[in-house]
Amino acid sequence: MKNLNLEEIKKILESGDFDAFIDSIENDFFEVKLGSVFTDEESDKINFKLSKYATSFANQNGGYLICGLKTEKLKDIPHDIIIGLDLSKVDNFLKVEEIMGRISQCTHPIIETQVHWYPYKKEPELGLLAIYIPKQENGKKYFYMKMQEFSRELFGVPIRKDGHTDWITVKELYNRSKSRPNNMQEVYEGMSSQIQEVKNLIRDSNKKTPGITDDLITKRMLQLEDDIIMGK
């Protein structure tokens, strides 16, 4: 069995020698589906699967979702193993723009995504669809998967773990959110320290800049805070 890393997966895709995937196992950055997975299902099911895998990879270290390979479960190991190819023509897959649109529609914040169809070296009219989620900025995590139920919007936080999609519990999410400041706090703290530096510079300048007072700076700081809250 082969346990491929991201660079090895990329090289196989670009080479078109997809037989090299056979005998590889799924792992924390490698998920495999049949070629028909996003072609014959209801729209809601497609959106659910796409957003689930996109957010789970985004909440870890990135990874590939590849459509067009056959897998089999083995009793001895927890991961599925690739046993063959299930290639399709490019027109049988959803369009690149549609896949990216479905992911952005059902996730928050926006996840950087790359979608590409790769032709098979032996039969170029057939190929694989690869959805690649690069490693995301830590400051944007966690990424949420949005689910619509009637008129309500629900959410979940998938995460890639041991070669499968797991879900962060409400308790764990709460604990993690309390362990470090959120983005707003970080921005505000950074802004406050910068303004304090400006105040110090003004004092050190021996009042060579008339008209700029502590009160004026504080007023501007509050305005900046309002702008951040309003998303300006």
Q: Across 40-44, 121-125, 173-177, which has the greatest mean pLDDT?
A: 121-125
Residues 6+ apart with CB under 8 A from 101: none
Written as one letter, the residue type at 201 is: L
Distance CA 122, CA 142 (A): 41
Whether this prediction's pTM lies above 0.85 is answered by no
Express each pLDDT in 176-206 by its tens digit: 666 555 554 554 455 555 555 555 655 655 4
Q: What is the pLDDT of residue 184?
A: 45
Averaged pLDDT for residues 112-120: 96
- Asked whether the beta carbons of 117 and 110 are under 8 A apart, the reply is no
Helices (H), 89-213: 96-105, 170-179, 183-204
| Angle 201-202-205 from CA coordinates, rounded to 5° | 85
Distance CA 76, CA 43 (A): 35
